Amino acid sequence: MLSHKFYRILPPLVCLIACTAVNLLYFPRHPIFPDEQRFLASAAKLAASGKFWVGSDRAWEMPGTALFFAPSVWLFGPINAVIPIRLLQSLLLACQTGLVALIAQRITRNNIAAFFGAAIVALYPFFLFYQGLLLSETLFNTLLLAGLASLYQWRHRGGRIDGVFVLCCACFAAATLTKASLTVLPPLLVALAAWTRDVTWRRAFAVLIAASCLYALFLSPWWIRNELLLARFVPFTTGSAQNLYLGNNPHNPEGGIDWSRDVEPDVASHLLAIPDEVTRQQAFSKAAVNYIEAHPVEVFRVAAKKFVRYWNVIPNAAEFGGWYAFVSAATFGPIIVLAIVGLLRQRREWRTLMPLLTIVAYFTLLHTLTIASLRYRLPIEPILIVLAVEPLAVIAAWLHTRRTPSSG
């Protein structure tokens, strides 16, 4: 009889084996996408100078990924750092198996469901693929899940302002310092978790204030640094408005994400040439907002297409058809069906599920308004797995009962 401890260590162990196989047999020993080159270059400059740059900009994106990559670059050099970074990211994915199990346990109070959640994460093709890329997704997902696991642990302990509360805010802040897409959501999420625990509005508001103060405290080094370098308050990044423009301009009727064809060439070239990054951000934002205000019906139509892109069962890019499309449909397809079934079965537990559903709705809305692709859906896929494991556990229990001979 296998011990309970064995089932706890099996998913991360399998995950590490799968990551090693993917990294050695599928990926080359060098980055393959331009975004990987950008992150690696930022990490190299940070390791060499102690200063964070993205090309010639100082706050175009958040610094978390470069900070995570920099030690490997400093130790092994930019070229040889690829394999160590992939190893670290495989360890992060192994940690995600445990974090998903913890969240699933809090949601379902079912050990079998928790095991299924960890096992799916360990072998989920999208996660295995992205841990081999030098991008922000694996680090961000790990920190987001750590924040959610801490949030549910804090909620379970009574929602007091204690060390777990501080840990929760710290994990969410670290996730935001990796990708700015969370923006101001974390304090609201913590307050929502408190409110759905049947506390008074006054108590929930006190939690919101405390979480906001802690969240701001953890982000303040980034704010102070940007104020000193840019002489302006930049709470997140100077690159986000470019995505808003990319997703909302007259040359993007299909909601695509290709800067070579989905933007106005003359306008985009002019705006990208603005040397000051804050001024450039403001110009991109103004161009996007002006278009949205002038063409609300068209914006809504394109947003519907972006919604479909975001929730597509198969990759949107033509180069990821064939085998990639089959793997995507065969894995994400069942997950989304089971997640819907799990949500319906657990509808009476809506208070417990509310933080997870809020994140799903938030990311869907965010990328419907800006740009959408399967890559940007990655943060909510662990949440969908958590929702999917309850019906899986029920099916497993039913099959076990069918196979077990009756004692009569």
- pLDDT band of 324, cuts 50, 70, 90: confident
- pLDDT band of 318, cuts 50, 70, 90: confident
- pLDDT band of 404, cuts 50, 70, 90: low
Strand partners, 54: 57
Mean pLDDT of 161-169: 96
Mean pLDDT of 82-104: 98
Residue 90 has pLDDT above 50, yes or no: yes
pTM of the model: 0.95
Residue type, position 287, single letter:
A
- pLDDT band of 1, cuts 50, 70, 90: very low
Q: Indicate the angle between helix axes 111-123 and 4-25, nearest 10 degrees.
A: 10
The per-residue pLDDT for 10 is 93
Tens-place pLDDT, residues 175-226: 999 999 999 999 999 999 999 987 788 899 999 999 999 999 999 999 999 9
The per-residue pLDDT for 407 is 46
Percent of the chain past pLDDT 90, that is, above it, reads 88
Residue 105 has pLDDT above 70, yes or no: yes
Residue 386 has pLDDT above 90, yes or no: yes
Contact 105, 91 (CB under 8 A): no
The per-residue pLDDT for 127 is 98
Mean pLDDT of 117-146: 97
C-alpha span between 58 and 150 (Å, rounded): 32
Tens-place pLDDT, residues 325-352: 999 999 999 999 999 999 999 999 999 9
The per-residue pLDDT for 5 is 73
